[in-house]
Amino acid sequence: MRYTYLRQNVLALLTLCTFLGANENSHAQWHYRATREFVIAYTPIDASTSAHTLGILQQTYQRLQRVFQDSLKVPIVVFICADRETFSSLSNDMAPDWGDGLANLTNRRMLLLSPQATAYRRPLRDVVAHELIHFMMHDLVAGKHVPVWLAEGAAIYYSGETEHSDPILISRAILTNSLVAFDELDQVLKFEAARASLAYQESYQAVRFLIQRHGEAAVREICKKLAASSDLNNAFKESFGKDLIDFETAYFDWLRQNYRWQFLMDASMITWAVIIILLIVAIIAVRWRTRRKIAEWEKEDEAATPPPEVA
């Protein structure tokens, strides 16, 4: 066992050194720190971040081992990128503009945009956990393809990210008939920020729905079946006795049933509703006052008119 881990770390370090040497666009002075499972590459400005990141990785990894009942097969090289240019370059320009983390599963590289480079929209702990979950699932399925809705939904669910639990965006999409179908979600990295946010929301809710129906072990069960068959539809049948299309239909029905009217809870919608109500009340009040004034004028005219003379 010791020899296996040593060999894996040597391979990871060789991969790291080869990659850094071959990367002509990188002018950074990389430093690194390593454990059995992780090699952290960072520049001096992120020395403290690298230590913090390693601590998050180790804590999260212990928790995920219990969740998935599995371990990483090969160490992960984690790059903390000091700026977006480096982040984009190391991702071969695959990272979207709105991204702050990326998992290159084939090359065992996790890319993190340094907190020094941007005001993080997500806590560092959430970003690290999210990307690590991708690697855990990748190893659990033995490198087979995991559909984006399942991969991203599980990463959000198990990382505990709260930004994707707001139902307002989904409710608006239901209202405008713009929900993203499962087969479209595979293109999420090419989506603009707003559509990507909707895609992540839907993915999270899909995994949440899956776990509500089939229990906490549902994701792990599907991944094990995927490792054996490579076919998600077969994995669903073997795990739950139903086709994937049945699950997708039931999920979107559940989504519409539970979130159709959530947009009414949006603060902006409430504000506009109050404004419209006040406007209607004001119009009614003005009309009522106008009618009352006209009635008063008619009474005054009747009182001022002399009675007709009688012959």
Give the distance between the most distant pair of CA atoms in the chain: 132
Helix (H) or strand (E) holding 39: strand 38-42
Q: Tell me the three state secondary structure of residue 226.
A: helix
> What pLDDT shows up at residue 202?
93
From the CB of residue 68, how many other CB atoms can be counted at a distance below 10 Å? 20
What 82-88 contacts at long range (C-beta under 8 Å, 24+ apart), as own/partner pairs, is 82/28, 82/43, 82/45, 82/46, 82/114, 82/116, 82/117, 83/114, 83/117, 84/113, 84/117, 84/118, 86/26, 86/28, 87/111, 87/113, 87/117
Q: In sequence order, what are the beta bridge partners of 111?
A: 79, 102
The whole-angstrom separation of Cα 209 and Cα 207 is: 5
Q: In sequence order, what are the beta bridge partners of 34?
A: 39
Inter-residue contact 83 to 64 (CB < 8 Å): no
Which two structure tokens, joined as six digits, stand for 127?
């970003």
Q: pTM of whole model > 0.85?
A: no
Indicate the residue type of 150.
L
The whole-angstrom separation of Cα 301 and Cα 262 is: 55
> What pLDDT shows up at residue 1?
44
Q: In sequence order, what are the beta bridge partners of 76?
A: 38
Q: Write the DSSP string, 145-176.
A: ---HHHHHHHHHHHHT-STT--THHHHHHHHT
Inter-residue contact 244 to 233 (CB < 8 Å): yes
For the chain, list the domains and their CATH numbers: 1-140 (3.40.30.160), 142-282 (no CATH)
The whole-angstrom separation of Cα 158 and Cα 130 is: 8
DSSP symbol at 178 = -
> What pLDDT shows up at residue 13?
52
Q: What is the pLDDT along the chain (311 residues), one digit of tens a residue?
A: 434 444 455 455 555 554 554 454 445 689 999 999 999 999 999 999 999 999 999 999 999 999 999 999 999 999 999 999 999 999 988 888 888 899 999 999 999 999 887 655 678 999 999 999 999 999 999 999 999 999 999 999 999 887 767 788 888 888 889 899 888 988 888 888 888 889 999 999 999 999 999 999 999 999 999 998 878 888 889 889 888 999 999 999 999 998 887 656 554 555 545 566 766 776 777 777 777 777 666 666 666 666 555 55
Q: Tell me the three state secondary structure of residue 38.
A: strand
> What pLDDT shows up at residue 288?
74
Q: Write the DSSP string, 77-143.
A: EEEEESSHHHHHHHTTT-S-TT-SEEEETTTTEEEEE-TTTS--SS-HHHHHHHHHHHHHHHHHTTT
The whole-angstrom separation of Cα 14 and Cα 10 is: 6
